[in-house]
Amino acid sequence: MMKNIHKIASITLILLLASCIKSDYDTENCPGYYTITPIVPVELQQTSNEFLQNSNSSVLHPTAEWRKTEVGPDNILEMLRGQYRAYSIKGESNQVEIEKGTVITVNSVNGEAGDPGNLVGGYIDFSVEGGLVDYEVINFDLPTYIQSRELILEVKIEGDNSEMVESISATIGGIALSRDLLNAFIEDGERDRYPSLNTGFVNYGMSDKKEDGFYTDSKRLIGLDGNAKQNLVLTIHYKDGFEKSFNYDVTTDLDGFHTQEVATPWVISIVLRAGADFSA
């Protein structure tokens, strides 16, 4: 969190709360002038400290009341002395909820994660000292972070029986359903996996083969659970109704998912040989 101060260019009239209008002018009971400026994730910035426009923001006031708030460098807020929390989110879908301003949760059905969409966000806690000091405006920068990442699974079937394959399905477990907003996707971050608050899985369905021979599907995740292994169950569905499943521990294949090239999709690529014995 960065804090800086700038002067109001011109003020023609200042409206004070009733508690401020008294002979001794107790500034501690007066509102101060503040701005909250969400900042684009560092990995996505076009310019340094770029303002994240059109975000969905709310502020938790000392009265324990959440208020949806228009924020930004040009939106001056009157705030009384106390402790505040603010969060900003952009790009959320109806599959995502923000709890207490700090926790992101993706909707799930029986443990299967929904689609969080392309999402950035973050939050800060800050103190307001209160009182008007030379009519200055104090700004609080609110850093945001990449909150979801695409995980692509691609599978190629080679061998004598490859033409007998109708489709491929897969499940990956150890997927975060709920976590702190700050445990996001940060390039060269301090920690690759944080424990999630709730854990689930994602399902992949691959019925169309691309020109390069790979069956491909993609899911967007809010993260991995640092307290769980990521296990992949891959099932080949043959045209005659026969099915063959394979189990893989892909935990190490996902090392760096939260900290490496976080603005791009992560790809797991598997090549299987469907010979006469259906071996892999």
pLDDT tens, 61-113? Answer: 999 999 999 999 999 999 999 999 999 999 967 899 999 999 999 999 999 99
Specify whether the CB–CB gap between 97 and 105 falls below 8 A. Answer: yes
Give the pairing of strands 66-68 and 108-109: unpaired
60 contacts: CB under 8 Å, gap ≥ 6: 66, 84, 85, 86, 101
Is the model's pLDDT at 219 over the cut of 80? yes
* pLDDT score of 131: 62
Specify whether the CB–CB gap between 106 and 96 falls below 8 A. Answer: yes
119 vs 6, residue with greater confidence: 119
* Model pTM score: 0.87
Q: In what order do the strands lie in the sheet with 120-128?
A: 66-68, 56-60, 82-90, 120-128, 145-146
Average pLDDT over residues 24-38: 78
Please give the span between the terminal C-alpha atoms of the chain, in angstroms, as a whole number: 51
User: Minimal CA–CA distance to 44: which of 277, 274, 268, 261?
Assistant: 261
* pLDDT score of 9: 36
Q: What's the chain's average pLDDT?
A: 88
C-alpha angle with apex 184: 181 to 188, nearest 5 degrees?
Answer: 145
What distance lies between CA 225 and its chain's CA centroid? 14
Amino acid identity, residue 12? T
* pLDDT score of 162: 84
Is the model's pLDDT at 22 over the cut of 50? no
Is the model's pLDDT at 202 over the cut of 70? yes
pLDDT band at 20 (very low <50, low <70, confident <90, very high): low
Q: What pLDDT digit, counting tens, does each position of 102-140 carry? A: 999 999 999 999 999 999 999 999 999 866 655 689 999
* pLDDT score of 59: 97
Is the model's pLDDT at 55 over the cut of 70? yes
